[in-house]
């Protein structure tokens, strides 16, 4: 009995954190959606909601690492497109799909290494480097396919993207959960994860403490390129066809989900748990908007506003707190309550 106030207070503290806030929003969205459309809560719809955005949320996981590390990778969507278009181009020339998949992945890895080289070793800002490669990789994808679209992949490949593999889960979803587990362990429970945070907090301090900053950034960008390529290939398998402009503009959704998850855009803070919650929020929100017959562009607009709000809200809270504490220190007799 005596413990209950403390327990309650702890629960209240947790609710006041960003993750708690996200949880409340998620519940509100789920309730509204559930009331509005009865289909919403069916297993089929819940599974569908994941599958429609599965490629994006796979990339979100690795983007979380990058942004906590105080960098950004704008080229992920272009890398997705590049890998998929390479696959299509090779397939058209009679290369077996297995080999083409490997080449696509390798190209993603190379793209990541290329980004990482400029950011980690030359020391250029990642925003500019990846903005340039956003254009460059998309350009390469266009060089491969020009304005054609390539389809007619072997049946097993399409099935891999479209049909459930184990139970009701398709391959992409399994890959997502595996990567999610890896991300949680790596970021929250390993030395590697601590380094990611430390560098994101203060790069110089990390360097002087003997953290291999350059190597770690290189690893992160390489992973980002490789996983984006993997996501692009899964996207190709799900759609059953590739085009030069596929995955264009995905970086907006991906970065929104990471930032909404409480990861500071300046690096150094955030967690996979928060990002997982924000993934669920964005997916359910999009699903709800689709059920309410909002157009895709309208949804993008809502996501864009969400992105601004998710950074604005903490800023405002800090500002209000600062004002309140200033007022409190000015009139101490008022704050006895």
Partner 1 sequence: MNALRRRFRPQQIRELVLVLIIVLAILLFGTQIDNYYNARLFNRVSTSVAITAVIAVGQTLVFLTRNYDLSVGSIAGFTAYFVGTQLARNNDIPPIAAVLMAVGIGAVMGMVNGLFVAYGRIPAVIVTLATLALYRTMLVEYSDAKTVLAAELPEWVIGLPRTNIFSIGELDFRLMVGVMLIVVALFQLVLKYLPYGRRLYAIGSNPEAARIAGFPSQRIVFTAFMLSGALSGLAGFMLLTRFGNVTVVAGIGLELASIAAVVVGGASTAGGAGTVIGALLGATLVDLLENSLIRWLEISEFWRDALLGMLILLAVATDAVIMSRLRSLWARGELRVESESEVEAYGKQEEGSHVA
Cα angle value 233/159/150 (rounded, 5°): 50
Stretch in the footprint of partner 1 (CB under 8 A) among 98-106, 165-173, 212-220, 291-299 = 291-299
Q: Check binding of 320 to partner 1 (CB under 8 A).
A: no
d(CA 264, CA 16): 17
Please work out the total of residues on this chain that contact partner 1, with binding judged by CB under 8 A.
Answer: 45
The interaxial angle of helices 54-68 and 272-291, nearest 10 deg, is: 150
Q: Check binding of 315 to partner 1 (CB under 8 A).
A: yes
Binding mask 127-166 for partner 1 (x = CB under 8 A): xxx-xxxxxxxxxx-xx--x--------------------
Q: Site residues for partner 1, window 193-252 (CB under 8 A)?
A: 244, 249, 251-252
Q: Check binding of 307 to partner 1 (CB under 8 A).
A: yes
Asked whether 256 and 306 are in contact (CB, 8 A), the reply is yes
Short-list 113, 119, 118, CA closest to 69: 119
d(CA 256, CA 253): 5
Q: Which of 182, 308, 320, 323 binds partner 1 (CB under 8 A)?
A: 308
**Token duo for residue 136:** 């460059």
3-state secondary structure of 149: strand
Q: Which of 304, 317, 323, 325 binds partner 1 (CB under 8 A)?
A: 304
Q: Site residues for partner 1, window 55-114 (CB under 8 A)?
A: 72
d(CA 211, CA 201): 13
Asked whether 216 and 198 are in contact (CB, 8 A), the reply is no
State the nearest-atom distance from the C-beta of 74 to partner 1, in Å.
8
**Closer CB to partner 1, 71 or 158, in the complex:** 71
For residue 169, report the phi and psi dihedrals to the nearest 5 degrees.
-95, 125
Q: Check binding of 305 to partner 1 (CB under 8 A).
A: yes
Stretch in the footprint of partner 1 (CB under 8 A) among 96-104, 116-124, 197-205, 224-232 = 116-124
The interaxial angle of helices 272-291 and 250-260, nearest 10 deg, is: 120
Which positions lie near partner 1, rule CB under 8 A?
72, 118, 122-125, 127-129, 131-140, 142-143, 146, 244, 249, 251-252, 255-256, 259, 265-266, 295, 297-298, 300-301, 303-305, 307-308, 311-312, 315-316
């Amino acid at each position: 009995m005596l413990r209950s106030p403390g327990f309650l207070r702890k629960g209240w503290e947790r609710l006041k954190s960003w993750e708690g806030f996200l949880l409340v929003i998620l519940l509100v969205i789920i309730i509204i959606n559930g009331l509005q459309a009865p289909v919403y809560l069916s297993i089929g719809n819940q599974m569908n909601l994941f599958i429609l955005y599965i490629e994006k949320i796979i990339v979100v996981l690795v983007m979380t690492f990058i942004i906590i590390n105080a960098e950004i990778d704008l080229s992920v969507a272009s890398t997705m497109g590049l890998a998929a278009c390479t696959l299509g181009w090779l397939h058209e020339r009679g290369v077996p799909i297995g080999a083409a998949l490997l080449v696509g992945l390798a190209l993603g890895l190379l793209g990541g290494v290329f980004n990482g080289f400029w950011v980690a070793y030359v020391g250029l800002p990642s925003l500019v480097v990846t903005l340039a490669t956003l254009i460059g990789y998309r350009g390469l994808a266009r060089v491969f396919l020009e304005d054609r679209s390539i389809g007619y992949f072997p049946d097993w490949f399409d099935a891999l993207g479209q049909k459930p593999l184990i139970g009701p889960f398709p391959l992409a979803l399994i890959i997502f959960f595996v990567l999610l587990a890896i991300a949680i362990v790596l970021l929250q429970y390993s030395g590697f994860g601590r380094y990611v945070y430390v560098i994101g907090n203060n790069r110089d301090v990390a360097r002087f403490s003997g953290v291999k900053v350059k190597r770690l950034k290189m690893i992160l960008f390489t992973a980002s390129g490789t996983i984006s390529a993997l996501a692009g290939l899964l996207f190709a398998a799900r759609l059953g066809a590739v085009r030069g402009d596929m995955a264009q503009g995905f970086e907006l959704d991906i970065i929104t989900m990471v930032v909404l998850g409480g990861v500071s855009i300046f690096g150094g803070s955030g967690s996979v748990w928060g990002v997982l919650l924000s993934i669920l929020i964005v997916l359910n929100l999009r699903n709800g908007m689709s059920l309410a017959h909002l157009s895709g562009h309208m949804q993008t607009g809502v996501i864009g506003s969400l992105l601004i709000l998710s950074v604005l809200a903490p800023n405002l809270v800090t500002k209000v707190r600062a004002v309140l504490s200033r007022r409190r220190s000015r009139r101490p007799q008022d704050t006895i309550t």
